[in-house]
Amino acid sequence: MIKQKQNKGFTSKFGFLMATVGSAVGLGNLWSFPYRVGEGGGAAFVFIYIIMVCLVGVIAMIGEFVIGKRSGVNVIDTFGGISKWSKWLGYLGVIVPFLILCYYQVIGGWSIKYMIDYIGGIGVASGAGNVGGMFGTFTQSVDMPVVYLFVFAFVVAIIVLFGVNKGIEKASKILMPALFVCLIIVVIKSLTLPNASEGLLFLFKPDFSKVKGSTILSALGQVFFSMSLGMGINVAYGSYMKDSMNIGKSSVLIGVMDTVIAMLAGMAIFPAVFSFGLEPTAGPGLLFVVLAEVFASMGPIVGRIFGAIFFMLVILAAVTSSIALLEVPVQFIVERFHINRKLASMCVAGIVFGIGAFIAMSFGVKAFQVEGVDLLTLFDSITNKIILPITAASTCLLVGYKVKPKNLMNDLGADTKNKIIIYKIWGFLIRYVTPIGILCVLGIGIYEVFSGQAGFTTIEGKLAIILSAIVLVVFSIIANVIANYLYDKKQKNSLQL
């Protein structure tokens, strides 16, 4: 397999970090982290999340960078290069971002609606006390969420169509720091609200009696989602890394930055939740409902400006992540079927929009719900809670056992003296601790889905999640078999590991 580093490689470490952070930081940090903290009982969830980032997130991220750095092609061929029978992981690595994108863009669309409302002044005007109602009315309507979804999806498709190269890297370098500054200002405002300390206690004082198996699974799924693990994007970025870059250090840094931004989002939201007497368990609407209260409390003009700027940055964070999510299936289709890039982007984006439209409508239209649960929650559960643990654990095992220790040692600490120690610790974690941990959590989570502790109370609802996940895994294994038969009869394990 040919290394493709010459043209596409990141030129600076800063550029590489900002691009990976740009893909990692998105709605996962700003939208789903806070609402999962709320549902998971606060600080105990945060504590488990941070442990998972260290033991699973960073370890698996290193593994993905290692194989990416050694391959240089799309996800499926990377996994195919490791072994004839690991291609199914690559197929899932393409299908999952596709499915995530379908609902991710729906939330991107909601953010556009909020930004426009703030610019027009409606956002603050409908302020205090009424925002929950506004969010409900909006998401449950049939037409507008689809229109905003279309606008969002269209922008993303256009960017991918014209190629992602320099624009995104340059834009991320400015936008990511801007997001950070804006977030800090909102945090400061939130912390000065009356009763803010209750929110901080909720976020930092753990009550472990609230922890259930499903809380741990939710934290684990959130780590995968937020660090963009288990879906090939880090494999792709790894392939653009310069040889001299230290994979270990970069992964730790990305994990830290991603977690810091998620925590800041929590610190912006929870003091306000308690100050305004809202419910921390509000679910997917939390970000939209609570921050609207904060902006309303800033007064009509300041609130309006901050609301507009803040949601604009949310949109931008979501756009940079969506581009990466769309790029994964598009890159595969272009390379495998030799279809023109523009056509491939348009087709995939069109299908994603079609499915997304049903998801967007499922909040208001009962016919599109599964056992009374909206499709967004369903898609989210299937991908994050079931498929991602499977792909991530398998990738860890594959990297842990297939890559030669000598190579690993070099990749891990290109310029450190403690290579051997780092390698020993990491090798132990990636071979035993991380995969076994992931599988245990997955087992407990599935058990809880069946025992009715995970939202879906009817047997049809539970079966919908589990069966969809099984179908996806079986589908990818069949694809592996067919690909072996059709294309790759003579293919050798070509990746130099």
Which residues bind to ligand TRP, rule: CB under 6 A? Answer: 23-24, 26-29, 97, 100, 225-226, 228, 231, 233, 321, 324-325
Two tokens at 188? 């400061």
Nearest-approach distance from CB 134 to ligand TRP, in angstroms: 24
With contact defined as beta carbons under 8 Å apart, do 313 and 30 qualify? no
Two tokens at 172? 């991320």
Burial class (CB in 10 A: 0-12, 13-18, 19+), 205: exposed
Of 164 and 344, CB closest to ligand TRP: 164
- Please calculate the CA angle 116-138-309 and round it to the nearest 5 degrees: 25
Two tokens at 325? 């999510």
Of 97 and 280, CB closest to ligand TRP: 97
> What H or E segment, with its residue span, contains residue 380?
helix 375-380
Nearest-approach distance from CB 279 to ligand TRP, in angstroms: 24
Q: Considering only CA atoms, which of 179, 135, 111 is closest in space to residue 290?
A: 135
Nearest-approach distance from CB 409 to ligand TRP, in angstroms: 28
Of 226 and 391, CB closest to ligand TRP: 226
Of 69 and 189, CB closest to ligand TRP: 69
Of 97 and 461, CB closest to ligand TRP: 97
Q: Which residues are paired to 370 by β-bridges? A: 373
Nearest-approach distance from CB 75 to ligand TRP, in angstroms: 11
Two tokens at 61? 């991220």
In the bound complex, which residue of the shown chain has the CB atom lying closest to ligand TRP?
Answer: 28
* DSSP result, 19-87: HHHHHHSSHIIIIIHHHHHHHTTTHHHHHHHHHHIIIIIHHHHHHHHHHHHHH-S-HHHHHHHH-GGGH
Of 254 and 408, CB closest to ligand TRP: 254
Where are the strands (E) in 391-493, listed by range? none
Q: Considering only CA atoms, which of 494, 402, 425 is closest in space to residue 66?
A: 402
Of 233 and 387, CB closest to ligand TRP: 233
Nearest-approach distance from CB 252 to ligand TRP, in angstroms: 17
Q: Which residue has the tokens 């539970």?
A: 462
CA dist., res. 401 & res. 124, Å (int) = 56
Of 97 and 271, CB closest to ligand TRP: 97
Residues across the chain = 497
Nearest-approach distance from CB 179 to ligand TRP, in angstroms: 12
Nearest-approach distance from CB 380 to ligand TRP, in angstroms: 11
Nearest-approach distance from CB 278 to ligand TRP, in angstroms: 23
With contact defined as beta carbons under 8 Å apart, do 275 and 196 qualify? yes
Nearest-approach distance from CB 438 to ligand TRP, in angstroms: 17
Nearest-approach distance from CB 315 to ligand TRP, in angstroms: 12
Two tokens at 39? 């549902």
CA dist., res. 277 & res. 254, Å (int) = 35
Residue 436 gets which letter from DSSP? H
Of 326 and 479, CB closest to ligand TRP: 326
Of 20 and 476, CB closest to ligand TRP: 20
